[in-house]
């Protein structure tokens, strides 16, 4: 077992050394890919807005303002005013604090909350792409890692990486946390995990994920590593969020009340929420039937298929991540936004990359991703529901 452990460490070191000479070039390639996708989102959204709504966008500020929709105004409001106890904005307690705090920090340089939010998400998107490539390289070839990042960047709801939402920040922190754990930098893993759990509720799933990773490493080495205790830092981020709830509402779980009041959400068994989603297939409105019925069900099925595959092919920790997130998405009385939430299920992109070795599936995955990516970007830019 010790020899096997030494081989794993040597293999990791060799991989890092081989990448050292080319990593700068490859990182710049990734940065270029992310920036191209960001420009594609902004341009496609702006053109869709003008063509379909027949309204002009005369200045750069106009091109950016069309993305200030749905959850974005709430993050900007939090950045500017913080959590509030009365009025319509009291429901903002349902949103986690790290992203708004970073937006506010960014305004020290930009003097503009929306621009600051877009810069934060843009930097985080670049970091997420680079860290995902490094993470996948620990188990697969460089070529497959590149395909994984490509499918991540063109995933139908990946446009959320480029606008003022938490997806890019959360994924950058998550990938950094998992990469640190795989490289046995447990202090960094615990700290990044805490920041992730201060960004979104999904961050708490890093706790069982890291525990399973530590258990996997123990199974290989048969040695206890006291640095695993850093895993205990992960829930601290969620604890900070609960403190925010307590100071604002007097109840550390006050967000649950507002989620039920405003979004009609409460905990339920997965099949209960899925059953209600199936019922939407018979709604009279074709738009509602498609976007809140068919697309939700498709991504629920895609996430479930990816979860099953991960248990068969990937590390146990990744499977726990998939399972925990899928249950989190579906264990609610009113399932909504699963296509967006599915973006965090990164083993799906590894699955796509593996399947893409076959030319037929390479074509299918690319066409499906890019077509629905374009459709959803167009809808969102027009102010229509796109998760």
d(CA 253, CA 246): 7
What separation in angstroms does the CA of 174 have from each of 5, 185, 238, 251, 258?
Answer: 25, 14, 14, 28, 27
Q: Is the pLDDT of residue 19 over 90?
A: no
Residue range 260-269: mean pLDDT, rounded = 83
Residue 188, number of CB atoms within 10 A of its CB: 16
What is the band of 148 on the pLDDT scale with cuts at 50, 70, 90? very high
pLDDT score for 15: 44
pLDDT in tens, 316-326: 999 999 999 99
Residue range 285-293: mean pLDDT, rounded = 94
- Structure tokens given for 31: 């940065």
Share of the chain above pLDDT 70, in %: 93
- Structure tokens given for 344: 């965090």
Contact by Cβ (8 Å): 207, 231: yes
Residue range 248-265: mean pLDDT, rounded = 88
To the nearest 10 degrees (0 to 180), the angle between helices 186-197 and 206-221 is 160
Share of the chain above pLDDT 90, in %: 87
Looking at per-residue pLDDT, the higher value among 26 and 386 belongs to 386
Handedness of CA 125, 126, 129, 134 (dihedral sign): negative
pLDDT in tens, 101-112: 999 999 999 999
Q: Is the pLDDT of residue 22 over 50?
A: no
Residue 192 DSSP symbol = H
How would DSSP label each residue in 81-98?
Answer: H---SSSGGGGGGGS-SH
Tell me the pLDDT of the chain averaged across its residues: 92
Give the three-class secondary structure for 311: helix
Residue range 255-279: mean pLDDT, rounded = 88
Cα(first)–Cα(last) distance of the chain, in Å? 47
Q: Is the pLDDT of residue 140 over 70?
A: yes
Give the three-class secondary structure for 222: coil
CA neighbor of 373 nearest in space, from 172, 124, 152: 152
Q: Is the pLDDT of residue 248 over 90?
A: yes
pLDDT in tens, 39-98: 999 999 999 999 999 999 999 999 999 999 999 999 999 999 999 988 889 999 999 999
Q: Is the pLDDT of residue 12 over 80?
A: no
Residue 360, number of CB atoms within 10 A of its CB: 9
Among 3-12, 121-130, 165-174, 214-223, name the one with the lowest average pLDDT. Answer: 3-12
pLDDT score for 26: 55
- DSSP H or E run through 78: helix 72-81
pLDDT score for 266: 82
What is the band of 159 on the pLDDT scale with cuts at 50, 70, 90? very high
Residue range 247-261: mean pLDDT, rounded = 90
Residue that the structure tokens 């990164």 belong to? 346
Residue range 236-265: mean pLDDT, rounded = 91
Residue 117 DSSP symbol = H
Q: Is the pTM of this model over 0.85?
A: yes
Helices (H) and strands (E) in the chain, counts: 18, 0
pLDDT score for 86: 86
pLDDT score for 350: 98
pLDDT score for 265: 80
pLDDT score for 9: 41
- Structure tokens given for 85: 């106890």
Phi, psi of 332, rounded to the nearest 5 degrees? -145, 155
Phi, psi of 139, rounded to the nearest 5 degrees? -120, -20
- Structure tokens given for 169: 């920040």
Widest CA span of the chain, in angstroms?
A: 67
In sequence order, what are the beta bridge partners of 332? 267
d(CA 162, CA 168): 7
Q: Determine the distance from the C-alpha atom of residue 7 to the mean position of all C-alpha atoms in its chain, rounded to a whole number.
A: 33
pLDDT in tens, 201-237: 999 999 999 999 999 999 999 999 999 999 999 999 9
- Structure tokens given for 356: 């893409």
Looking at per-residue pLDDT, the higher value among 68 and 9 belongs to 68
Handedness of CA 36, 172, 345, 216 (dihedral sign): positive
């Amino acid at each position: 077992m010790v020899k096997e452990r030494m081989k794993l460490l040597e293999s990791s070191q060799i991989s890092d050394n081989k990448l050292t000479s080319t990593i700068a070039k490859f990182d710049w390639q990734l940065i270029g890919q992310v920036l191209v996708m960001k420009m594609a989102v902004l341009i496609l959204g702006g053109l869709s807005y003008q063509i379909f709504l027949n309204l002009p966008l005369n200045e750069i500020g106009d091109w950016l303002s069309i993305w200030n929709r749905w959850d974005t105004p709430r993050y900007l409001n939090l950045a500017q005013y913080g959590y509030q106890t009365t009025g319509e904005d009291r429901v903002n307690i349902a949103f986690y604090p790290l992203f708004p705090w970073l937006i506010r920090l960014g305004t020290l340089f930009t003097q503009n909350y929306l621009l600051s939010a877009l810069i934060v998400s843009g930097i985080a998107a670049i970091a997420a792409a680079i860290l995902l490539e490094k993470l996948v390289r620990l188990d697969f070839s460089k070529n497959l890692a590149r395909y994984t990042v490509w499918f991540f960047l063109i995933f139908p709801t990946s446009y959320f990486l480029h606008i003022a939402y938490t997806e890019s920040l959360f994924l950058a922190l998550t990938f950094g946390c998992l990469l640190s754990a795989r490289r046995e930098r447990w202090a960094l893993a615990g700290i990044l995990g805490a920041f992730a759990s201060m960004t979104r509720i999904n961050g708490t799933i890093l706790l069982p994920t890291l525990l399973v990773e530590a258990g996997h490493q123990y199974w290989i080495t048969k040695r206890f590593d006291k640095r695993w205790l850093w895993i205990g830092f992960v829930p601290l981020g969620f604890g900070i969020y609960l403190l925010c709830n307590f100071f604002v509402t007097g109840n550390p779980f006050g967000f649950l009340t507002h989620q039920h009041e405003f979004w009609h959400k409460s905990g339920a068994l997965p099949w209960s929420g899925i059953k209600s989603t199936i019922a939407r297939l018979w709604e009279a409105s074709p738009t509602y039937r498609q976007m809140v019925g068919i697309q939700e069900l498709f991504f629920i099925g895609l996430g479930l298929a990816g979860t099953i595959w991960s248990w068969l092919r990937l590390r146990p920790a990744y499977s726990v991540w998939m399972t925990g997130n899928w249950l989190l998405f579906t264990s609610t009385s009113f399932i909504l936004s699963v296509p967006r939430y599915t973006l965090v299920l990164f083993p799906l992109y590894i699955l796509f990359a593996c399947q893409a070795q076959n030319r037929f599936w390479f074509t299918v995955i690319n066409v499906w991703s890019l077509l629905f990516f374009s459709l959803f970007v167009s809808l969102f830019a027009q102010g229509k529901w796109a998760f």
